[in-house]
Amino acid sequence: MPRLSRSALFLFAAGTLASLPVLADETRYNQISLRTEVSQEVPRDLMMVTLYTEAQDSDPAKLAAQISDTVNKALSQARQAQGVTLRQGTRNSYPVYDDKGQKITGWRERAEIRLESPDFATLSTLTGELLQSLKMGSLDFTISPASRKLNEDALLKEAVGAFKGRAALVTEAMGGKSYKVVNLNLNTSGFNPGFARAPMMMKAARADSAPVTPDVEAGTSAVSITADGTIEVIMP
């Protein structure tokens, strides 16, 4: 095997070192972690109502037909309301047993319909009418996707602006001439905390009385965006 001269060995070693990947980032100094948060109250602009019918009968086929008839009539009535989105909710049936829990004495079935609309007055009126044949399951409010997107975009800009303002303040306090952003994370909270159930005032209505329109108050949800990250202060 031929021997390598000292100069050849040096060049070989230098070439090998130059080809090795960088194992660690260049050491950085004057890095500061910052966090800012902006928030605002956003009106809940989407009303959601769940209504249901429930009955019991010894004949499951008769029971199913009865439930279907009630639901179909309610859906037909609801379709006449402008600006209301309809959805069929859950529907289930289960056996009813005797006192000993051994023999099936009948069947019980429950079916839901779900309504949602940004028009609170229309949906409240419709709800009052449908309560003549259905029962109230829930009445909730949330922020609509369109409103969420609009407010989120505005808050994002505000959060970034607040972060930049704090970064400039820190740079000045440290006697730096400028700064650069090493990393920045934006996090949204409050837009999807579940549905906020508002107070609902209704009086029990007799079958022969006029429909009762629920009094509703949607309220607002506090939403916020945090901007946290790291800056590197550039010294003179």
Residues of the chain above pLDDT 70, percent:
77
Q: Identify the weakest region by mean pLDDT among 53-67, 129-143, 156-170, 200-214.
A: 200-214
For each of the domains in the chain, give its residue range(s) and CATH number, in order of start: 29-45+144-194+211-236 (3.30.110), 46-142 (3.30.70.2970)
Q: Name every residue whose Cβ is closer than 8 Å to that of residue 20 and which is 6 or more positions away in sequence.
A: none
Tokens of 91: 């529907």
How far apart are alpha carbons 191 and 189 in whole angstroms?
6
Nearest Cα to 53, choosing from 131, 115, 118? 131
Count of helices and strands (H, E) across the chain? 4, 10
Residue 29 scores a pLDDT above 80: no
Tokens of 117: 């609309």
How far apart are alpha carbons 36 and 19 in whole angstroms?
42
How far apart are alpha carbons 83 and 123 in whole angstroms?
9
More confident residue, 115 or 20: 115
From residue 98, alpha-carbon distances to 86, 94, 95, 101 in Å are: 37, 13, 10, 5
pLDDT in tens, 168-214: 999 999 999 999 999 999 998 765 444 445 444 444 344 445 555 65
Residue 45 scores a pLDDT above 80: yes
pLDDT in tens, 120-137: 999 999 999 999 999 999
Tokens of 158: 């505000």
Nearest Cα to 182, choosing from 166, 161, 162, 167? 167
What's the pLDDT band for 9 if we cut at 50, 70, 90? very low
- Most trustworthy range by pLDDT among 1-10, 18-27, 76-85: 76-85
Could you tell me what percentage of the chain is helix, strand and coil, using 3-state DSSP and rounding each to the nearest 5?
A: 30, 40, 30
More confident residue, 75 or 199: 75
What's the pLDDT band for 5 if we cut at 50, 70, 90? low
CB burial class (10 A; 0-12, 13-18, 19+) of residue 230? middle
What's the pLDDT band for 27 if we cut at 50, 70, 90? low
What's the pLDDT band for 107 if we cut at 50, 70, 90? very high
For residue 59, give the 3-state DSSP assignment: coil
How far apart are alpha carbons 85 and 79 in whole angstroms?
8
Give the strand pairing for 85-97 and 215-216.
unpaired
